[in-house]
Amino acid sequence: MDEGLVIVYTGKGKGKTTAALGMALRAIGHDYTICMIQFIKGSWHYGEMSSSKRLEPEFELTAVGKGFVGILDDKTPKEIHQKIAKEALEIAKQKILSEKYNIIILDEINYAVNLGLADVGDVLDLIKIKPQKVTLVLTGNHVKQQIIDAADLVTEMREIKHPFQKGIRAKKGIDF
């Protein structure tokens, strides 16, 4: 990879993290190294926590969050979520500057910014310090315009139809 990109997967439709994971799978096929830092999903068990271990050492998953914020069974104070997001930003900075990885995925970082857990300026700083050869992937709904402006590629997932509308709950292996 001669020149890395800044890629954003956003939108209300499903598939943002899945798109980033698909890119990671493709990149591993070219002997690239990938680090994924998850800003929100950390306390729940979902498929990529187990499957990512099969892709080691080329793929490293660091789950930092305390679970989805403000929904379902979240009883964690917002201040704790903010502290953890700051820790995740520092981990991201270290991983980016290490030059050990070809691709770094900051999963749900846009959502963390939207929820006030992380500052858009901190995300823009990560984009600015990114070495030229590193591709930085930012996922999550509600991406800020400043991040769109700084990105090379922005893809919006748009929901057209969702099984939840028929009362079908999230499916293991499909949704988590």
Domain ranges of the chain: 6-166
Using only C-alpha atoms, the chain has a radius of gyration, in whole angstroms, of 16
pTM > 0.85 = yes
Assign domain 6-166 to its CATH architecture. 3-Layer(aba) Sandwich (3.40)
Residues 138/143/149/151 CA torsion (nearest 10 deg): 10
The phi, psi pair for 18, rounded to 5°, reads -60, -40
| SS percent in the chain: helix, strand, coil, step 5 | 40, 15, 45
Tens of pLDDT, residue by residue over 45-84, are: 677 778 888 899 999 999 887 666 655 566 777 888 899 9
CA distance 153 to 29: 22
Q: 98-118 pLDDT, tens per residue? A: 999 999 999 999 999 999 999
